Amino acid sequence: MIKSISTCLAMAFVSLLSLNTFAQVLDVDTFEKKIKETPNAYLLDVRTTGEFGGGHLPKAMNIDFRSPDFSAKVAQLSKDKPVLIYCLSGGRSAQAAEQMRAAGFQVTEMKGGYLKWTTRLKPLEGVPDVKHDAAWNLGDFKKEIASSDAVVVDFYAKWCAPCLKMMPIVDKLAEEFKGKVTVLKVEADGNQAIMQAYGIDEIPSFMVFSKGELITKTSGFREEAALKELFTATKK
């Protein structure tokens, strides 16, 4: 009986070690070291193609986790090679990693994602040569959202097609609700501190505040009617 229990405990311990081996989540510096130590690994960026086009880790490959063919594309990868995975801040890559581990891949995640990588001033590739808007100071941003009864924050990027498509509509609504709603625009590039502070892990994203209190948060493309709902969210 004792021998049987010991055997079970030993097996559980081995399983736990195996789980820890295959479910690593590393900080940026350790992740960078892992990239250098495993040159044969897949470096996988699971953000959208638009996000990837705005800059990515050197030699990374892109498979959008939200795309319908994600599983099919992942199935084409060799399970004999380790996978180093990241997204914007860690949410999508965690889901993708879980799915890939279930399929038999050995996956290591980067904690904090691309946002944390850029705040650490790590090397990048594919960054477009565009003029960025002035960055926000986190303290000033908090003061702004606390000073109005209704604030709509538009998190965007100049390389993001859905963002550019919605921009004229946001401007139109800002004029329509002038004096009633304050619109703040936060460009993803250069405002990593704000993105991390408010848990923004996808672009485009919107947040609505009233006197500093978060009313609603959403991400993805929205038609004009859905955008208008954000401008009236504090009145509900």
Residues with catalytic roles: 160, 163
- The whole-angstrom separation of Cα 225 and Cα 151 is 18
Amino acid identity at 61: M
Q: How big, in percent rounded to 5, are the helix, strand and coil portions of the chain? A: 45, 20, 40
Pairing of strands 205-210, 151-156: antiparallel
User: Of 212, 199, 206, 195, whose CA–CA distance to 150 is shortest?
Assistant: 212
The residue written with tokens 């993708």 in the block is: 96
- The whole-angstrom separation of Cα 68 and Cα 71 is 8
- DSSP result, 138-158: HHHHHHHHHS-S-EEEEEE-T
